[in-house]
Amino acid sequence: MCGRTACSLSKECLSFACMYQDPYGLYQPPEWCDDVGGTCEPSYNIAPTSYCPVLVDHSKLEDGMPPKRVLAPMRWGLLPSWYQGGLADFKLNTFNCRVEGCQRRNCYQPAIASGRRCVVLAEGYFEWKKPSSGEKKEPYFVYFKQPAGISMVTRDWDCDGKENLLQGGCWRGPKLLTMAGIFDKNAGVYSFSILTMRAPEYMAWLHDRVPVVLEEEAVNAWLDPVHDTMQLIQSVHFPSTLDWHQVGSQVGNTRNKGMDCVLPVKKTESKQKRSVLDAWLLKVTTEKAGPSTSTSTRSQSPLNAEPKDEPALQVKEEPGPQGAVVQVKEEPGVQEAASEEKQEGSAQGKEAPVQQPATEMKVEAKELVNAESVMQLKEEGGAQQQKKRRLD
């Protein structure tokens, strides 16, 4: 199906983009017929009930006019000529017309029988990919493959001075998407419906329906008043020269009309969602782990800083007649740190806490002295007993 299009070109640019070869072999731009009512405004997001530019044969637009290709604004959503109510009261969905069985529908019979055919113009149309279970629809922008130097992705040509795209009497801008349509007239209002067909294999991944897209030769035949509508419908072939890219979700809101509707989607949205999830998981993991159990009194080192070694405790043995004497010697850094801590404790009051590292060193030194003394006494006792035995 086709429920949204984009066409940002001005009326003058559209005229040059639709240049055709007349019966005399000369290329000329079609003229605009602005007296049919309604105005089509350039927009990157055109929805049904809006006015869109269409190509039509002048003889089918107004009775008694000679065959000639012209441009006209028409309302999207066909209002049949037999309808007697107001435009706002017409509730049928007629912005798309299926080619299968279209002749049997009362809404389209008058337009088909009278040969009122038109070609709907756009830079491309939007289609939403059918989602898998639990996924959101993804919008895509579909268009003709463009000539060299023209890109629908970067849109370098899309600027305020689009009139500069006409060089040497030739159109140097994008190739417009041309879709088959039928139109009718009711109380002075011209309205149209875009024909749709079953999607070819290479487009079925996106949707099972596509608009009837016409190449240049098919456009000429579709606008020629001598041909029968149903015979043309039976002979249509979907071209293989289409291209597409994914766009952002903002195109789903018809109030968004800017160029961002047709630009390729940015993947930052999904990355941000993953980052939020990762942050949540990290928070949960941290809460489960609980607070740190470390009892170290050392402050954290700066980032990338080398960890400093703890001051070494030196134990020196000195022989003595009554036993081993153990001297405990601390490095200057420890003494300075202990002195500073003592000063800080004095400044804060008598209840200042005693620093744990110094206490631990004193206890260890005392235990070491006691152990050495016991060993020395045992050795001396054993030596005296051996001496006594010899004397005996």
Residue 186 and residue 79 in contact, taking contact as beta carbons nearer than 8 Å: yes
Token pair of 336 as six digits: 């300075």
User: Please, which residues have CB within 8 angstroms of residue 141's CB and are 6 or more apart in sequence?
Assistant: 6, 124, 125, 126, 152, 244, 245, 246, 247, 262
Catalytic residue among 40, 102, 107, 127: 127
Residue 308 per-residue DSSP state: P
Catalytic residue among 2, 13, 40, 261: 2
Residue 140 and residue 127 in contact, taking contact as beta carbons nearer than 8 Å: yes
356-391 and 332-348 are packed helices; what angle lies between their axes, rounded to 10 degrees? Answer: 130
Phi and psi dihedrals of 350, rounded to 5? -70, -25
Q: Does residue 287 carry a catalytic annotation?
A: no
Token pair of 114 as six digits: 């009278």
Q: Cα separation of 216 and 43, whole Å?
A: 24
Q: Cα separation of 303 and 247, whole Å?
A: 43
Dihedral of CA atoms 17, 21, 25, 28 in degrees, nearest 10, equals -40
Q: Does residue 127 carry a catalytic annotation?
A: yes
> Which residues are catalytically annotated?
2, 127
